[in-house]
């Protein structure tokens, strides 16, 4: 009896090791019966589920940061925490950051109230739509993050993200002012767009960029440490 239990335990340990390494159909033989343990591509399914969870969490954070806003009478652009969340996601998710932002924009334009002023296709006529386009463009900076953790690199990328958001936001707001004034003075519209849509936010956004860089850097370091510990434990248990 003890010998059978020992063999069964040995088979179970072998099965667990195989399950963690293999993506194929796995069976465990017990006397004359075959027990189905798992099927399908285990690693692929786990990755898909993980990506779905990360994307959902990223969209949720973008939505909350948009709705947590301060609207002032001197500008149509609200003060939000969106750039803080955007930069953190870009630095941590790297090449996958744009997927979160794209999903967020699709849900917003589909009608979900995830933007600062709500959502829907009518938002395309909003004076702040350019900033949303800037979010998507800035998320592409994730391709430049790389695997080396450097606080200086993170800060430079964060400030670059802010500049991209400003660029598209300012351009869109300039067009918005030009249209509403009948293109009477394009240069004045561009100047007003800068005064109302960029200048009031510079200090606020630089602070958020620095904070986001620090948060992303510390999270990245912690994640690297956890991976190292996991690798050591994996080698020890082999």
pLDDT tens per residue across span 158-193: 999 999 999 999 999 999 999 988 878 889 999 999
Residue pair 193/170 in contact (Cβ under 8 Å)? The answer is yes
Give the per-residue pLDDT at 7: 66
Band the pLDDT of 11: cuts 50, 70, 90: low
**DSSP codes of every residue in 154-204:** HHHHHHHHHHHHHHHHHHHHHHHHHHHTTTS-HHHHHHHHHHHHTGGGHHH
Q: ∠ CA(218), CA(224), CA(229), 5° rounding? A: 125
Domains in the chain, CATH or no CATH each: 2-40 (no CATH), 50-232 (1.10.1760.20)
Q: pTM for the complete prediction?
A: 0.78
For 119-156, how does the pLDDT look when each residue is reduced to its tens digit (9 = 90+)? 999 998 999 999 999 999 999 999 999 887 789 999 99
d(CA 200, CA 50): 38
Q: Which two tokens stand for residue 142?
A: 């994730």
> What is the structure's pLDDT at 206?
96
């Amino acid at each position: 009896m003890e010998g059978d239990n020992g063999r069964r335990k040995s088979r179970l340990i072998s099965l667990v090791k195989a399950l963690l390494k293999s993506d194929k159909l796995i069976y465990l033989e017990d006397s004359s019966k075959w027990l189905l343990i798992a099927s399908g591509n285990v690693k692929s399914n786990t990755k898909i589920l993980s990506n779905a969870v990360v994307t959902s969490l990223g969209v949720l954070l973008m939505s909350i940061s948009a709705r947590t806003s301060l609207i002032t009478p001197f500008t149509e652009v609200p003060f939000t925490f969106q750039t803080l969340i955007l930069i953190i996601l870009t630095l941590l998710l790297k090449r996958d950051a744009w997927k979160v932002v794209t999903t967020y924009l699709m849900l917003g334009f589909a009608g979900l109230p995830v933007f600062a002023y709500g959502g829907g296709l009518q938002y395309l006529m909003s004076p702040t739509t350019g900033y949303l386009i800037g979010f998507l463009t800035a998320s592409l900076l994730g391709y430049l993050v790389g695997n080396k953790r450097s606080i200086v690199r993170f800060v430079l990328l964060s400030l670059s993200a802010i500049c991209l958001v400003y660029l598209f936001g300012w351009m869109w707001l300039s067009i918005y002012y030009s249209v509403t004034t009948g293109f009477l003075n394009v240069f004045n519209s561009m100047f007003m767009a800068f005064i109302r849509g960029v200048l009031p936010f510079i200090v606020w956004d630089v602070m958020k960029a620095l904070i986001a860089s620090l948060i992303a850097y510390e999270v990245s370091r912690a994640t690297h440490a956890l991976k190292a510990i996991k690798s050591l434990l994996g080698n020890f248990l082999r």
